[in-house]
Amino acid sequence: MITAWGCAVRLPVVLMLLLLTGCVPESKTSRELEGLGEQIVDHWEARQEVADADYEYSQGLAPDDYHLRLEVTLKAEAVTDQVVDEIVEIGERDCWLGPWDTYYPTYVVRRTDGTEIRSGTFHLRPEMEQKWGPRTPQVIPTSR
């Protein structure tokens, strides 16, 4: 038999376990950022130089604690500075045209042998407007 006291004790324990395991409700923000990750990966995989591409999205406990990490692996024989620049530009373009103004995904470009070629953060710069047009981004809600 479950008593009122038993429920009062169990509920906070269950809530604490959900928080500690990272089980936070999916939000519009998480769906849109995952969509951005999927879009960049799709555009990368359309390139013949790409052997593999993937993304990992995670959300911390804070409302503004979002992480989108993208990885792309290039076929070793196709790696040139120009190809790497073009791969990074695809990510920059998709981020520029994406939904958020206050979020900067990270990326890693590797060769098929696992060697890291370049890594960084996709930053949005004013001169991108000349290249890809104006944007009407939203600002990711924060707790501040």
Task: Say yes or no to pLDDT of 138 above 90.
Answer: no
Flag whether 5 is in a domain: no
Domain annotation covers residue 14: no
The pTM score is 0.72
- DSSP letters for 35-67: HHHHHHHHHHHTSTTEEEEEEEEEE-SSTT-EE
Whether 48 is covered by a domain: the verdict is yes
- Continuous H helices in the chain: 4-20, 28-45, 81-96, 128-132
CATH number reported for the structural domain that contains residue 88 in this entry: 3.30.300.30
The whole-angstrom separation of Cα 117 and Cα 69 is 16
pLDDT at 87 over 60: yes
The number of distinct structural domains making up the chain is 1
Residues spanned by the domain of 56? 26-132
- Tens of pLDDT, residue by residue over 3-15, are 665 555 565 554 4
Question: Does residue 101 sit within a domain?
Answer: yes
Does 2 reside within a domain? no
The verdict on residue 58 lying in a domain is: yes
